[in-house]
Structure 1
Amino acid sequence: MLLKLFLGFTLIPLLELYLLITVGSYIGAAATILIVILTGAVGAWLARMQGVSTMLTIRERLNSGQMPAEEMIDAALILVAGLLLLTPGLITDVCGLTLLIPPARNAFKRLLRRKFDTWIRQGHIEIHRF
């Protein structure tokens, strides 16, 4: 796990830097910076809109006595998308924008669900029922 974190915190910034330098050499530094700022701003706005919509759905489900499990996962993924979009870089912006597309987010939720089910079956996560 420590190795994965180390690689994540070193490789991703290095890849971001490489991509920014490469793109900047083709279209110029100012245009590259403008792209990063615009994708961050548009993505943050989209994340805010989807976050508010999801929170309203959560409130409606709770008020009707239903458990908003899917909506809570959506809210967490929208938060992650917003954080990725606020991180400067093109790779993180693409990942963040992808999480804001509902079909892509649903596919990612299915992947997470399968991963969690595997962890539970293997005993890495214990479920305690009250």
Structure 2
Amino acid sequence: MSKVLTVTLVRGLPGSGKSTLARELPGVHLEADMYFIDERDVYIFQPEKLSAAHDWCQQRSEYWLRQGESIVVSNTFVRHWEMAFYKRLAKQYGAKLIIKVCQGNYGSIHNIEPTVIEKMRRRWQY
């Protein structure tokens, strides 16, 4: 019997507990923020590279599915269309799609301004 692949998407506002939950779930944990971690394990956000970070996350996601590994992707996914690529991947690889929403308020580890988080909250699609 072959292993059942899963694509788990963990969505929520910054500071809601996405990364913490994702690390506890089975599968390779990926998120766009990982793109901004340098060789010294220091997070250096560069807004002009955000699109490249999401491309990297998508490429790594497909790589691991091709290897027969389940994935757990934690990103804000504020709008539904932001999950579309991963939904297509799940279908393409015959993986079970799981979507989890984090609603905690633990404070943003990346020091995102409250005004930015509030804008995201107003744009949130349930």
> Does TM, scored on the shorter chain, surpass 0.5?
no
Higher strand share: 2
Higher helix share: 1
Structure showing greater relative contact order (alpha-carbon pairs closer than 8 Å, 6 or more residues apart) = 2
